[in-house]
Amino acid sequence: MTDLNVPAGSADGNASPRFQSDVEDDKEKTKANKEVLDAVAKWDAMGVDVDKKTLEGRKANRGFTIAMGKTSNEGTEGLRKDKRAQTLPAANTRRGDHILSAESQESLFKMNEVLKARYRRGSVNVAAISIIPDEEFVNCWKESTDGHLHGTMTEGQSHGDEREREFHIIDKLPGALPPIVSCHKGSKGFRDTTPNQDNFSVTYFKNGWNMACAFDGHGPFGHIVSTRTVQSVPYFVAKSESFPANIEAAMIEAFEKSQKELVVHALENSWDVQASGSTAVACMWKMEGNKAIVWTANAGDSRCVIGSEKTKLMLFETEDHKPQTEKEKARIEASGGEVRTQTYPDGWVNHRIFVKGEDFPGLCMARTLGDESVKAHGVIATPECKMTEVDLATDPFILLASDGVWEFLESDFVIKAVAKKIKTDGPERTVQKLQREAKKRWRQEEGDYCDDITSVLIQLGERS
């Protein structure tokens, strides 16, 4: 199969990396413009007039508005059904959530009822954690931060729509180079009405530390998990006695307390946390002289990379927690979980995690927030934390993104392409192009199925 990460005309991925969609636009623009004019010349229509100047500098994939008179339908019978809406694409869930059987759903329901009963008796280890009221979040942002932003719970969106956002204290992200955030709803198929399950947050603590989160929900209530935890993780960091003296301890504490708060929230609000969860990647950064200190914490396959605009090299990337990763698989199997592998006709291999002997939950990641049904079976909420120092002279940048970006794009390629595009197109348009490229790759590989896609781009230091 052709390597989609290598631009056409180059021998390897090191030569002037470009997003494939840009390469194809440039190749097709001249050809497409000529084809439009040739086609119009052959139409048997009155009143057709195309100004050739409208084609200059226009991308081939943009639409044209042409005033047309009456056309003949001769020869078109049978080419198109009148009721096109009845033509449904084939279901495609191999990269989506595992479809639970009726028996599995009944088992999960019973597990949740047992958990509720134990919680009411005070015998669950989450009893020491209380639900964080909305006003307590707001008070925390006022007391501990110079500003906070997170995505809101948004309904009724279509494929490609941006998640709405909510600001606290600030009305826009501060600084000469503010972070650029984009969170697009994916598509689970024809006429998809499911919510966007990705979410994000950016928090500016008063002590000089900053934090960004990109979380990717899954399962029937994954959107609740991600929306809740992009707020609770920075909240618990702010409340931690370890912060800011011990960033690693504060981040681990925040993830683990967010897991407990999530379970309580589910029990009190009657939503099922047994098979709903979220992957999570968070980073904290602070400037110290001519360098930046960056801490990352990740659980699952949402990823953070650090790159240089000057060298176009990758300086750091987090490690995905996949079921087939040796250390992750060993922990899961030792805890009573099992990893099952399925190979599809095209050779693609999928690995999912189940409770041993059961058909749930079918997770594709080995660490998550939520997913209470497998917390006793090795799927932990504890993140992996790493610290990196970066030289501000290299014009470094941080990119956090959900699996919607990383499924078909390699980290090295993204770093090189983003570094190049920032210089020519600026950071906001660069993020737009990255989102567009990711969607294009999903369409090529999975047809009508496209994951939700989130990117958070942070440029560190100043730019001349």
Residue 389: give the domain boundaries. Answer: 102-459
Residue 259 resides in a domain = yes
- Asked if the structure places residue 54 within a domain, the reply is no
Does any domain span residue 13? no
So what's the pLDDT on residue 121?
81
Q: How far apart are CA 140 and CA 254, in angstroms?
A: 14
Where residue 232 sits, what CATH number does that domain have?
Answer: 3.60.40.10
The C-alpha atoms of residue 269 and residue 223 are separated, in whole angstroms, by 14
Upper half-sphere CA count for residue 335 (Cβ side, 13 Å): 20
What pLDDT sits at residue 25? 61
Neighbours of 39 (CB within 10 A): 10
Q: Are 303 and 320 in contact (CB under 8 A)?
A: yes
* Distance (Å, whole) CA 102 – CA 78: 41
Check residue 117 and give its pLDDT.
Answer: 84
Query: Does 2 fall in a domain?
Result: no
Contacts of 327 (CB under 8 A, 6+ apart): none
pTM: 0.82
Decide: 129 and 261 in contact? Cβ < 8 Å.
yes
What are the angstrom distances between the C-alpha of 187 and each of 89, 90, 97, 164, 223? 12, 13, 13, 17, 14
Of the candidates 334, 245, 333, 261, the residue with the CA atom closest to the CA atom of residue 295: 245
Determine how many CB atoms are found less than 10 A away from the CB of residue 121: 9
Q: How many domains does the chain have?
A: 1
> Quick check: is 254 in a domain?
yes
What's the pLDDT score for residue 348?
A: 85
Tens of each residue's pLDDT in the chain, 464 residues: 434 444 433 444 445 677 776 766 666 554 555 554 454 344 344 444 444 444 444 333 333 232 323 333 333 333 333 322 323 333 345 666 778 888 888 989 888 888 888 888 877 676 678 999 999 999 999 999 999 999 999 888 899 999 999 999 999 999 999 999 999 999 987 778 889 999 999 999 999 999 999 999 999 999 999 999 999 999 999 999 999 999 999 999 999 999 999 999 999 999 989 999 999 999 999 999 999 999 999 999 999 999 999 999 999 999 999 999 999 999 999 999 999 999 988 888 899 999 999 999 999 999 999 999 999 999 999 999 999 999 999 999 999 999 999 999 999 999 999 999 999 999 999 999 999 999 999 999 998 899 999 999 999 999 87
pLDDT of amino acid 433: 98
- pLDDT at position 95: 63
First CA to last CA distance, the chain: 42
Position 63 in a domain: no
CB atoms within 10 A of CB 238: 22
Query: Are the C-beta atoms of 302 and 403 separated by less than 8 Å?
Result: yes
Has residue 43 been placed in a domain?
no
In a domain, 408, yes or no: yes
- Rounded to the nearest 10°, the torsion over CA 158, 438, 96, 336 is -140
Could you tell me how far CA 318 lies from the centroid of its own chain? 15
